[in-house]
Amino acid sequence: MNNTSEFIKVSYFSIVKIAQTNIIKGLTLAAKKYSKGNLVDLGCGTKPYENIFKPYVQTYFGVDFHTTADAHYASDTKADLYIDCTDTKMEQGSFDTLLSTQVMEHIYDTRKYVSECFRLLRKDGIAIFTVPLLWQCHGEPYDYYRFTKYSLRMVFEQQGFEIIEIRELEGAYAALIQTKIISLYSFPSNNIPIKMLQMLIRVFWIPFLNFSALHFDKLFYNNKLCINYLVVVKKK
């Protein structure tokens, strides 16, 4: 990672280290290569990636849906506008760059959402997404879909976007280890011996798994399975 993303380095003790590190790397490269002008972050939450994009854009505007923002971020939400992200009411062609990270799986009407993204961009505007293929249910009950790169290509092209890139942010080796960590070790227990075991796992086993996934994923690389895709599209 370069200096723009160092502020959100993720600890090797974190149960989301693998997924989050690869999202940060992908967004850091995309920000430098594609972002420009006025940016809107749809489903912005706490704006965790704002400092990655700020060096390359003039303005950074966050939008989120009040119901889900309150449920998941409460007072930590940094939205500048609270509204349905599929129908923002903002003026057409207001932005040069659009960012949407880990949002599409929570939007029931995918095509309506992508159409709204298209509407908000100026001609030749760029939209940058991260979208999951493999993750446990989260943000419930507002968790509806997982996407393959083929479904992503179809939905964006059908709404008028030109595909610049769709790529896996990691391979199967990292994806399976991340799934193991998040599935087995993320739920607290009230049983004291189990809590102690979980603590030992958190201190010794999870850092090893994280290190293994991040350093050997390319050695055993298989792009048939990933945690997330990076999608970059252009308004024709």
> For residue range 93-103, what is the model confidence (pLDDT) as tens digits?
999 999 999 99
Q: Which residues, other chains included, contact 15 with Cβ-Cβ below 8 Å and sequence gap of 6+?
A: 181, 182, 185, 186, 202, 206
Quote the percentage of the chain above a pLDDT of 90: 81
Q: What is the pLDDT of residues 167-209, one digit of tens each?
A: 999 999 999 999 999 988 777 778 888 778 878 888 889 999 9
Q: What is the rounded distance in angstroms from the CA atom of residue 204 to the CA atom of residue 13?
A: 8
Q: What is the pLDDT of residue 200?
A: 84
The residue ranking higher by pLDDT, 194 or 13, is: 13
pLDDT of residue 71: 64
Residue 124: pLDDT band by 50, 70, 90 thresholds? very high
The Cα 79–Cα 187 span in angstroms is 29
pLDDT at 207 (0 to 100): 94
Q: What is the pTM of this model?
A: 0.92
- DSSP bridge partners of 233: 127, 163
- 62-95 tens-digit pLDDT: 999 987 776 677 788 899 999 999 999 999 999 9
Q: Is the pLDDT of residue 156 over 50?
A: yes
Domains, the chain: 3-235 (3.40.50.150)
User: Which pLDDT score is estimated for 76?
Assistant: 85
pLDDT reported for residue 154 = 98
Q: Which tokens in the block code for residue 232?
A: 């970059």
pLDDT at 31: 98
Q: Is the pLDDT of residue 5 over 50?
A: no
Q: Say if residues 116 and 100 touch (Cβ distance below 8 Å).
A: no
